[in-house]
């Protein structure tokens, strides 16, 4: 099992969800968790104006997606996220893939792959 | 129960009194308006302390005014310098059946109307030193400043015995007394207190920035200010006409509306042309700049002059605000750029456009070829600037060596809401 | 200084003037009220542009009105079609000592009061096209629309020379001139501009939804609207009675309060019965629907009629809003469903319940067995609808092919706050 | 169109009428003010239901008042117990040209002004039971309570036929009728309904805490309350003087301003000395405490008495609020500590400082060596307390066994916004 | 050492903290980090109403708990979270257990198990 | 590759970024993701006042930093975070180091070390 943490542009969540639905949804709702984060990277901050002065905040709003997956699905999910989140400009974000040792469904207590 | 009052024949003008009371209430609502306007532009960690800087003026100056302030400003003159009429202390000797002059309103109504001006004026200064001034020192500062700067200045300009009044300086609703005095004091105080620790205008495009935490608050604040300003300006007809709610009031209302609208639109257009981005803060700033500039002129100029003044106000204040970035001082919320410069513009513009002078002679403005009034206006403004600068230097200097003007570096870093007031503006209630 | 004005004998009614000035200020505060009401219902990314749609009307129409608007609406008639009295351009020829008719108030007070109506009317339209209309086009639209749709309509209905006025159509405070005209224009504009990219009403229960970002703003907005509406409706007594603050004003105040209360309660109950969930937005919507519906009728009906009208207003507007979901057009904030339909209901209800007609004859409503007035009301409403629909089709069509009505898809996706205005409504200040 | 009204000679005092209409509008704006004041102090999950508790009173009591409420309170007396004058039902028999007494205002203006008091009084009670009272029961409660507790009490104290009025009890703007009745009812209801599930005052320093979710709302609410309170208190001159906008109104305005300022400052100082942290909520609480305390006294005392009363109000209410923590009951937003105790203080203070009694005799306060008035005041207060306590016990008890006073544990845990109203106050719009 | 990331219902945080305190608090305050997130899964969105129209947002408010633990404590913590967070209805959430290579206490610079 | 998750005091973000810039910035903007969280631990909650009553919220505002790194940089980054975030008082927070199996740059599809 893997845990995927992906940082994407906020305006791409809809597209990412559409892509993920295609590859993860098997007569069931696929599962994922999202949160608002702020990112710093090669991308220049968005220009804003304050009383006539141009300013660029250091941090840019992004979304972080957390996704627990069985191994078979990792490639598909990574491809789907890339497909949905890519704009081609600097600032599209990253996908991190981490080993996941165990997963427990709180409602049932099920563990491992079938709990994902 | 009517019998109680029948002995005293009703000389009251009920309409004028209604308008005075309403105007006083309108000026009061400018204080929460100002609190919102300012607080929306600071960071979350200072939102409450910034709002309190306005609200505490209602409490502190509210008491000061009925105790000594009204006497100092409007009591019988002591040599034209200041009012000195002990019966007014604590309003002790003000019979509640006393009338104010020949205007058909109770004296207490006038006391209250003027008291609201005394409240909002020092609160304007707070904008220049937001996010770093020590709260206890701020309270002492506004108390002393109102007593020794505002009250004498109000006496000079608005009391029939005041020397500037006698010379014929016009200041309908407080360009000099309110906005110049607050704006220039704000500049001096901002310079004395220094920049915020993380204010780096030179790097503004490179990433170290301070952003307004909630512009909807600022817009709502601008809306309440505009609303209340009708009381501020049109209520000031109390000085010139009977009935108080008559032609002068309607004229002042009209010029106020027109100037604010023209200024709001102008600032927006300047930004659009200049940056390609017409901002909501620009629109709000223009509105406030227009309201400030028309204040001294409101009952003295024609509607079309107000429209021109509105355009000028936004051009001039926009440049003044930009100058700040060039000079590098930190007037947090542009109290100087908008109130100081806008007030100065308005004071002079009154000399340019005025349709009658203090003696009631018509067409005295520069546009009618007369130069006397604009000279007087310059004198009034210069006096206001001088009083503000020296007064603030003195009071600020004294407080600096005694109490300290600035909060501690930790308080500034962590925000004064938590460190000074023991509160946070917002709680997310995670899981409760 | 009184001498200045003594030459002119005071014909001013100070009480009526006070009420006119106050009413004008109250109508102005409806604009920030509307800004909050609307902005709370949109998404964070569009909060500032939505508020600006209201605020910019204060600036743009504020200038338009004193320049040409007042003349077009209330100047001497050119054939009953439009006002045409060059001395009113820029208010140039309006002596500030001029009185308005026989009502004991300065003409400028009337100019200002009416000007506030001209400001808020086009701002209402914004609700239908929120989150996607191009900002520059919006500004041009409201300017042209006010000049060519609102001003003539106001002339027809409210000027003593207007043809609808002469026929006897009643519109106390603007059911036809304000709400029908804005509401039907809103519908047309919403249809022309199309749906928001992510507006999918058919899927509303399946997950693709747009939610109001801050309903506390909307509720506060409704509160300020209610407050300001007393000026709107009770101030409109200026058209029918001397003194302006007299019986008609008190009657209009009473019907306004009663209708809003009844409507608020009714909408809440409908929701409770219908969904089991009485919502705060429903309560606010009901209040606004009631205020809209009573506007044309305010000074012409009895309090108990106002209560009935309030119940009707919420039933009818609730259905109108639901119809939107059936037809599938995207009137973002229901400007048509509430203002268009509510205004139409009110215009007709005036013919049902009115206790006197324009000639002062008593008991002219349908409930008293008279049918003339309701016929006139239907004519007035139909004229208003026609003018709004054709005017908006024309203006909107022209702007569509020239400037474009709609912002770019990227601007819509990212929100106009950042892309058009270069600002964000809220900043979290992570770590600063 | 003037002809219509010419038959009836204008006995109207236009200034007084303007002030009455404006005061009514000002009292109405206190309702959104109260909504904000309260809602800022609760948690996000209950923000809408808390605001609705205020807004729904505008709807429900707005209808109740014109239907039966006005008759019960101000109709011709049935044995001094309650008003009973069928022609007032639904205001059916109130001619809109009827005048109110000898005050020169339309009766409808008086009906509206008093109606706003009836609206805000039960809404105050909501503060004590916020975050847990069942919404449907709340609506029924305020309806029944207003009808059977508020209206009779108003009749006793304010109607010329009322027994407390005849005895000479003074209650200028509602210390007993409004604040004592609401405050003591709040206490009883809070005790009946029990604590919130997670209210653990004993552990307050150990981590289980409920925090205000947005204090900027609370501050803005306090600002709007202050603003509106000028209508509340100075408008109440309608009971004692012609013209309504005259000396009494100006006096009441002055004492209101002074008492609020002194109280705000005092509460801040108490906190500063006591905890070292002067809070913004403390400043706001002091302002409200001062406004409450001065309410019964406003037109009867001198400005300096108001300053003293302000100091007392904050000291007493601060202690009352702390007592809550000792006794451990859960008066969520201190409706009892501020309104109950503040109103009681004010009622008694009226007997201490009053400068004339109901018969117009001067210097009747305890400070002038007279003891009759303070005895009367104690009687009035005791009656108010008794009526509130027994009335609320009865109504609350009945509702408890029928509808249930409290929402379900799940609704309380998840917040009533979502579970009862099907809404959330705020949406973050992640990715939309 | 393990890092636990758990997604729970917001209203269950209190209960989860009570359970964790029982098994993790050894005369010291146990440590944990919480954040607001939004989740998508089998659970139907909460019904809300907007002008008479029923709507179900795609994403549902949840809380995410981050918890660094020594290996001995993992079972106990997982059981405690399940005990506190379980309501039995769809939407109770997940617990993810990941390997943790190192842990540093910033204040002292301590590393590894004793820094947890 | 490693994924670092660090919990720090909000007021220390500026200092942490300054330190990280020194060790990670190689003629390129170093990358990182931040989010607001709330923490529970040995640190006593900040004292607040509500109507005269002292209260200590259970949870204290913190920031969480997420940082994907190539192995070489881990020590440097940890030291930099410690240097920037340390105040010496209880509540400075933790750094968690986790194995990272893969990293994908969404914009380009690059994988592994060069995508970090
Ligand atoms: N190594 C990393 N660790 C943590 N966050 C990262 C890392 N690399 C990228 N990010 C996140 O991805 C966002 C986009 O990165 P950026 O360098 O601007 O664009 P790109 O990935 O397209 O080159 C950043 O704002 C940051 O939030
Ligand atoms: N594999 C997963 N990856 C990320 N988040 C998940 C995963 N599974 C569940 N979640 C989170 O847990 C929440 C509850 O899941 P859900 O499927 O609705 O209920 P249950 O786990 O009871 O079947 C989701 O909203 C989501 O935030
Ligand atoms: N084992 C842990 N798991 C999750 N978060 C932790 C852990 N240890 C510390 N934290 C986070 O670090 C913060 C500081 O921890 P604390 O114990 O108060 O101080 P210190 O680390 O200086 O002893 C906590 O509020 C919490 O957010």
Asked whether the beta carbons of residue A53 and residue B211 sit closer than 8 angstroms, the reply is no
Measured from the Cα of F66, ligand 1's closest atom is: 4
Residue range D148-161, pLDDT digits in tens: 999 999 999 999 99
Q: Please tell me which of the candidates B213, B253, B360 has its beta carbon nearest to residue C24.
A: B253
Q: Please tell me which of the candidates F37, F89, F96 has its beta carbon nearest to residue E103.
A: F96
| The residue to which tokens 């104006």 are assigned | A49
DSSP structure string for C206-252: TT-----SBHHHHHHHHHHHHHHHHHHHHGGGGGT-SSSSSHHHHHH
Residue range B131-189, pLDDT digits in tens: 999 999 999 999 999 999 999 999 999 999 999 999 999 999 999 999 999 999 999 99
Residue range C182-198, pLDDT digits in tens: 999 999 999 999 999 98
**In Å, how far is E98's CA from the nearest CA of chain A?**
5
pLDDT value at residue E46? 87
pLDDT value at residue F46? 87
Pick the residue from chain D with its C-alpha nearest to B65. D258
Residue range A3-31, pLDDT digits in tens: 999 999 999 999 999 999 999 988 778 99
Domain boundaries, chain B: 16-417
Ligand nearest to the CA of F34: 1
Q: Which CATH architecture has domain D16-417?
A: Orthogonal Bundle (1.10)
Q: What is the mean pLDDT of residues B336-345?
A: 98
**In Å, how far is F63's CA from the nearest CA of chain E?**
10
User: Bridge partners of E67?
Assistant: E4
Tell me if A41 CB under 6 Å of ligand 1.
yes
Neighbours of chain C (3+ CB pairs under 8 A): A, B, D, E, F
| Domain covering E7-42+58-115 in this structure, CATH number | 3.30.70.120
Closest protein CA for atom 27 of ligand 1 = A39
Mean pLDDT of chain C: 94
pLDDT value at residue E90? 95
Question: Which residues 50-69 in chain F show a CB within 8 A of chain B?
Answer: 57, 59
Largest CA distance in chain C: 74
Asked whether the beta carbons of residue C430 and residue F14 sit closer than 8 angstroms, the reply is no
**In Å, how far is A34's CA from the nearest CA of chain B?**
16
Tell me if E90 CB under 6 Å of ligand 2.
yes
Segments of F29-90 assigned E as strands:
32-40, 48-50, 53-55, 60-69
pLDDT value at residue C4? 41
**Residues B21 and D227 sit within 8 Å (Cβ to Cβ):** no
Q: Choose among A36, F34, C424, C39: nearest CA to D429.
A: A36
Ligand 1 centroid – CA A61 distance (Å): 11
Ligand 3 centroid – CA D86 distance (Å): 71
Domain boundaries, chain E: 7-42+58-115
pLDDT value at residue D207? 53
- Indicate if the pLDDT at residue D165 is higher than 90: yes
Q: What is the pLDDT along chain F (116 residues), one digit of tens a residue?
A: 999 999 999 999 989 999 999 999 887 789 999 999 999 999 988 899 999 888 888 899 999 999 999 999 999 999 999 999 999 999 999 999 999 999 999 999 999 999 98
Ligand 2 centroid – CA E58 distance (Å): 13
Q: Choose among D407, D54, D425: nearest CA to D213.
A: D425
Ligand nearest to the CA of F59: 3
D431: pLDDT confidence band, cut at 50, 70 and 90? confident
Return the best residue to mutate from E5, E7, E12, E42 for the ligand 2 pocket (most ligand atoms within 8 A of CB). Answer: E7
Angle at C62 between CA B341 and CA C230, to 5 degrees: 110
Instruction: Give CA–CA dist B98/B114, Å, rounded.
Output: 16
Q: What is the mean pLDDT of residues A63-75?
A: 96
- Indicate if the pLDDT at residue C124 is higher than 80: yes
A57: tokens are 């905040």
Q: Higher pLDDT residue, D129 or D360?
A: D129
Q: Higher pLDDT residue, B257 or E58?
A: B257
pLDDT value at residue C1? 32
Ligand 1 centroid – CA F62 distance (Å): 21
Mean pLDDT of chain D: 94
E58: pLDDT confidence band, cut at 50, 70 and 90? confident
B395: tokens are 């009071």
Within its chain, how far is the Cα of B181 from the centroid? 8
Report how many Cβ contacts below 8 Å link chain B to chain D.
224
Asked whether the beta carbons of residue D302 and residue B28 sit closer than 8 angstroms, the reply is no
Ligand nearest to the CA of E114: 3
Question: If phi over 0 gives left and psi between -120 and 50 gives alpha, with beta otherwise, what is residue F23?
Answer: alpha
Question: Which value does ipTM take for this structure?
Answer: 0.97
Return the best residue to mutate from F39, F40, F46, F66 for the ligand 3 pocket (most ligand atoms within 8 A of CB). Answer: F39
Helices (H), chain A: 13-24, 74-85
Residues of C in contact with D219 (CB under 8 A): none
Q: Quick check: pTM over 0.80?
A: yes
Testing the interface with A: which of D426, D428, D430, D431 to mutate, by most A Cβ within 10 A? D431
Q: Choose among B317, B324, B330, B126: nearest CA to B210.
A: B330
Q: Please tell me which of the candidates A48, A51, A56 has its beta carbon nearest to residue B321.
A: A51
Question: Which residues 21-50 in chain E show a CB within 8 A of chain F?
Answer: 28-35
Neighbours of B8 (CB within 10 A): 11
Testing the interface with E: which of D418, D422, D426 to mutate, by most E Cβ within 10 A? D422
Ligand nearest to the CA of E31: 3
Tell me if A40 CB under 6 Å of ligand 1.
yes
Instruction: Give CA–CA dist C363/D183, Å, rounded.
Output: 46
**In Å, how far is D420's CA from the nearest CA of chain E?**
10
E56: pLDDT confidence band, cut at 50, 70 and 90? confident
pLDDT value at residue B9? 46
pLDDT value at residue D205? 55
Query: F58 — contact with chain A (CB < 8 Å)?
Result: no
**Residues C179 and C124 sit within 8 Å (Cβ to Cβ):** yes
Q: Please tell me which of the candidates E51, E54, E57 has its beta carbon nearest to residue C281.
A: E51
C8: pLDDT confidence band, cut at 50, 70 and 90? very low
Instruction: Count how many residues are written for chain F.
Output: 116
pLDDT value at residue A28? 78
- Indicate if the pLDDT at residue D171 is higher than 70: yes
- Indicate if the pLDDT at residue C64 is higher than 70: yes
Report how many Cβ contacts below 8 Å link chain A to chain C.
16
Helices (H), D126-246: 135-145, 151-158, 163-167, 181-193, 215-234
**In Å, how far is F25's CA from the nearest CA of chain B?**
15
E26: pLDDT confidence band, cut at 50, 70 and 90? confident
Ligand 2 centroid – CA A115 distance (Å): 9
Tell me if A66 CB under 6 Å of ligand 2.
yes
Tell me if A54 CB under 6 Å of ligand 1.
no
Residues of E in contact with B431 (CB under 8 A): 10-14, 34, 63
- Indicate if the pLDDT at residue C424 is higher than 70: yes
pLDDT value at residue B4? 41
Instruction: Give CA–CA dist B290/B339, Å, rounded.
Output: 10
Ligand 1 centroid – CA A2 distance (Å): 21
Residues of B in contact with D199 (CB under 8 A): none
Asked whether the beta carbons of residue F82 and residue E31 sit closer than 8 angstroms, the reply is no
Ligand 2 centroid – CA D72 distance (Å): 58
Ligand 1 centroid – CA F28 distance (Å): 12
Report how many Cβ contacts below 8 Å link chain B to chain C.
225
Q: Please tell me which of the candidates A28, A29, A106 has its beta carbon nearest to residue E95.
A: A106
Mean pLDDT of chain B: 94
Distances from the Cα of D54 to the Cα of C229, D115, D121, D142, angstroms: 19, 15, 10, 11
- Indicate if the pLDDT at residue B288 is higher than 70: yes
C203: pLDDT confidence band, cut at 50, 70 and 90? low
Q: What is the mean pLDDT of residues C297-314?
A: 98
């Amino acid at each position: 099992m893997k845990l995927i943490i992906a940082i994407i542009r906020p305006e791409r969540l809809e597209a990412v969800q559409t892509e993920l639905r295609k590859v993860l949804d098997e007569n069931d709702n696929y599962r994922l968790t999202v949160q608002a984060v702020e990112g710093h990277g090669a991308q220049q901050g968005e220009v804003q104006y304050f009383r006539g002065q141009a300013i660029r905040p250091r941090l840019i709003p992004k979304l972080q997606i957390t996704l627990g997956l069985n191994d078979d699905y990792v490639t598909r999910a990574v491809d789907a996220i890339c497909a949905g989140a890519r704009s081609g400009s600097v600032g599209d974000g990253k996908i991190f893939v981490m080993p996941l040792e165990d997963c427990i469904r709180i409602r049932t207590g099920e563990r491992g792959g079938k709990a994902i | 129960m009517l019998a109680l009052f029948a002995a005293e024949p009703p000389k009251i003008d009920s309409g004028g009194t209604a308008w005075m009371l309403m105007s006083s209430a309108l000026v009061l609502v400018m204080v929460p308006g100002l609190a919102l306007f300012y607080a929306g532009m600071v960071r979350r960690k200072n939102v409450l302390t910034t709002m309190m800087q306005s609200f505490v003026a209602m409490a502190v100056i509210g008491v000061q005014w009925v105790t000594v302030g009204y006497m100092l400003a409007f009591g019988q003159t002591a040599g034209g310098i200041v009012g000195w009429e002990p019966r007014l202390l604590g309003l002790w000797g003000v019979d509640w059946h006393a009338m104010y002059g020949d205007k058909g309103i109770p004296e207490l109504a006038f006391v209250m109307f003027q008291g609201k001006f005394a409240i909002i004026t020092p609160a304007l200064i707070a904008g220049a030193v937001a996010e770093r001034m020590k709260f206890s020192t701020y309270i002492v500062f506004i108390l002393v400043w109102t007593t020794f700067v505002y009250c004498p200045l109000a006496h000079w300009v608005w009391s029939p015995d005041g020397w500037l009044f006698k010379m014929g300086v016009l200041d309908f609703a407080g360009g000099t007394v309110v906005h110049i005095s607050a704006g220039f004091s704000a500049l001096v105080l901002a310079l004395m207190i220094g920049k915020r620790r993380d204010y780096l205008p030179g790097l503004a495009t490179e990433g170290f920035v301070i952003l307004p935490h909630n512009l909807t608050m600022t817009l709502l604040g601008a809306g309440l200010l505009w609303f209340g300003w009708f009381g501020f300006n049109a209520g000031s007809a109390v000085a010139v006409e009977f009935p108080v709610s008559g032609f002068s009031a309607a004229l002042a209302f009209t010029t106020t509306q027109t100037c604010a609208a023209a200024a709001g639109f102008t600032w927006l257009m300047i930004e659009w042309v200049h940056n390609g981005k017409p901002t909501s803060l620009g629109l709000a700033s223009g509105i406030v700049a227009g309201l400030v500039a028309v204040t001294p002129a409101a009952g003295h100029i024609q509607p079309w002059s107000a429209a021109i003044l509105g355009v000028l106000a936004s051009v001039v204040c926009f440049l003044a605000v930009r100058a700040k970035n060039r000079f590098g001082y930190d007037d947090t919320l542009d109290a100087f750029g908008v109130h100081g410069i806008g007030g100065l513009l308005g004071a002079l513009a009154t000399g340019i456009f005025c349709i009658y002078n203090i003696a009631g002679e018509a067409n005295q403005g520069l546009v009618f070829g007369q130069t006397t009034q604009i000279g007087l206006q310059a004198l009034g403004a210069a006096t206001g600037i001088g009083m503000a600068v020296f007064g603030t230097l003195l009071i600020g200097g004294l407080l600096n060596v005694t109490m300290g003007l600035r909060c501690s570096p930790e308080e500034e870093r962590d925000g004064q809401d938590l460190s000074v007031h023991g509160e946070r503006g917002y709680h997310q209630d995670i899981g409760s």
